[in-house]
Amino acid sequence: MGKKIFSGVQPTGNLHLGNYLGAIKNFVKLNNEDQNQCVFCVVDLHAITVAQDPKKLKDNIYETVASFIASGIDPEKSIIFNQSKVSAHSETAWILSCVARMGWLNRMTQFKEKAGKDKEKASIGLYSYPVLMAADILLYDTTHVPVGDDQKQHLELCRDVAQKFNNDFNVDNFFKLPEPLIQKKFSRIMSLRDGTNKMSKSELSDLSRINLTDDKDQMINKIKKAKTDTLPLPPTSADLEKRPEAKNLMGIYSTLMDVDLDNTINKFSGKNFSEFKENLSQVLVDKIIPISSEIKKLLKDKNYLNQILDNGHQKADSIASKKLKKIQEIVGF
């Protein structure tokens, strides 16, 4: 039997190599497996947990859809839609927020990181974000959720919420407990400026990430400027452990080439960074520029993108509203 896949990407702009290698590349693989039912959501309700410029948000929604399609997701085979258009997500999130416990949410590291020191001023939405994410996933009887490593804790919370709902209302197996699908290696792509921080859309320095819409010169320049150390490339993977920037760049190369890290190490051991960076730039340009060009082309055809979203909205709404109706009956509405 095929898998039921659900995952989301926030339309917060600057979709980057981390989003692609950590999540979207995996979406494409799952989309291409025959039996799977895939739902890929542009999670705009999640995006507004931090302030967004309304005009840019609209553009970013189109850019996210274009990135899905340019990366190889087939909109005929997978459901692609905008989260805010299917009201069952918000309605289910409210019900589940009465099931989830404060103590569980207090442990979420992403909230702590994003809220920073001034958590009194963070939005309530940012705090309860994982409950909305649980609603997103559970509405589609999802069996597998392809995500980057940073989302693992939220997935565990989703399973806890599902289990507690099933227990509290005595509805065994009503919500399925979804499994995370996280890449085994290099599940977290790090910033090009600091190998200990994840590559992120909201990082101020554009030099910290490769955007999926960057052109060839920008990519080459960012790799040239990527932080490194002064040593030549090492002979074993153990030697990389204390060299986060070298490890990240070699990981990016290996993931793009679909080869093991040891393979990359053997190829470049003893060489200096400038030679390695030339090879890395070349593979980036070969693999990502076709996607980048396709995104730009698709963004010129808003009618086509709207058509995909409308079509996806109808399909998603039909599944989600049926599940919501059952949830409402169970809680006694």
Instruction: Reply yes or no on whether 287 is catalytic.
Output: no
* Closest residue by Cα to residue 296 from 26, 81, 82, 59: 59
Beta carbon of residue 219, minimum distance to ligand AQP (angstroms, whole number): 17
User: How far apart are CB 200 and ligand AQP at their closest, in Å?
Assistant: 4
Q: Are 42 and 84 in contact (CB under 8 A)?
A: no
**Shortest distance (Å) from residue 138 CB to ligand AQP:** 17
- Provide the minimum distance between the beta carbon of 22 and ligand AQP in the complex, in angstroms, as a whole number: 2
Rounded to the nearest 5°, which phi and psi values hold at 81? -150, 170
For residues 57 and 48, give the distance between their C-alpha atoms in angstroms, rounded to a whole number: 9
Binding site for ligand AQP (CB under 6 A): 8-10, 12, 18-19, 22-23, 147-148, 150-151, 188-189, 198-202
User: Whose Cβ is closer to ligand AQP: residue 147's or residue 223's?
Assistant: 147
Nearer to ligand AQP, 17 or 233 (CB): 17
Q: Which is nearer to ligand AQP, 9 or 162 (CB)?
A: 9
Q: Please identify which residue in the block is written with the tokens 């919420």.
A: 161
User: 180 with 155: CB under 8 angstroms?
Assistant: yes
User: For this structure, is 201 an active site residue?
Assistant: yes
Q: How many CB atoms lie within 10 A of CB 29?
A: 13
Known active-site residue 29: no
Instruction: Please give the Cα distance from 42 to 13 (Å, whole number).
Output: 12
Q: Which of 85, 152, 164, 201 is catalytic?
A: 201
DSSP letter at 234 equals: P
Q: Which helix (H) or strand (E) holds 177?
A: none
Beta carbon nearer to ligand AQP, 166 or 264: 264
Nearer of residues 165 and 178 to ligand AQP, judged by Cβ = 178
Q: Min. distance of Cβ 271 from ligand AQP in angstroms?
A: 26
Cα separation, 97 vs 101, whole angstroms = 8
CA distances (Å), 226 to each of 194, 274, 278, 302, in order? Answer: 9, 11, 12, 35
217 to 17, 194, 195, 273: CA distances (angstroms): 16, 21, 22, 19
Task: Show the tokens assigned to 123.
Answer: 């939005």
Residues recognised as catalytic: 114, 198, 201
